[in-house]
Amino acid sequence: MEMDKIIHCSVQLQCDVHRAFEMFTVNHLLESWLVNVAEVEPVVGGKYELFWEPEDRENNSTIGCKLTAIEPNKFLSFEWRSPKQYKHFANNADPLTHVVVFFIPDDEVTEVHLIHSGWRSSSEWEEARQWQDRAWSGAFKELEKKVNGMTDA
């Protein structure tokens, strides 16, 4: 089974690496750009649960997902669940898809790279991957706006 399809997003944030890392690990900061409610415990095995519709915790969330690795200000990785329209196959997959985020400091800027892997090769998986790719791209635009401000305004 092919497993080579990934999503790769990157962004340059005008902040130090510690602040960039916090944008992915501190609940109220995640809630400022990515999700309505975040319940994240930034330790290995801790929760990485994000809720886009908090009143319906089973859907459009990463309920049950865990952090699989974390090194402060360097990287973190966590399991991922797909939204409702893909959950019948993607969220029963073993393993689930998986996200790794790397933080690369460069003077006053931090480069953030996200790699989301584990996508299978069927057409429904490819549709889910393309949906998630667009979702991450949109989220990273929000993150960039949140951290960098609207510098071109």
Of 4, 5, 38, 8, whose CA–CA distance to 101 is shortest?
Answer: 8
* Among 21-25, 27-31, 47-51, 148-152, the least confident range: 148-152
Q: What is the pLDDT of residues 68-122, one digit of tens each?
A: 999 999 999 999 999 999 999 999 999 999 999 999 999 889 999 999 999 999 9
* Secondary structure class of 133 (helix, strand, coil): helix
Say yes or no to pLDDT of 151 above 60: no
Percent of the chain at pLDDT > 90 equals 93
Which pLDDT score is estimated for 70?
Answer: 98
CATH class of the domain at 5-148: alpha beta
**pLDDT beyond 80 at 2:** no
Q: E-strand spans in the chain?
A: 5-13, 37-40, 48-51, 67-71, 75-80, 97-106, 109-119
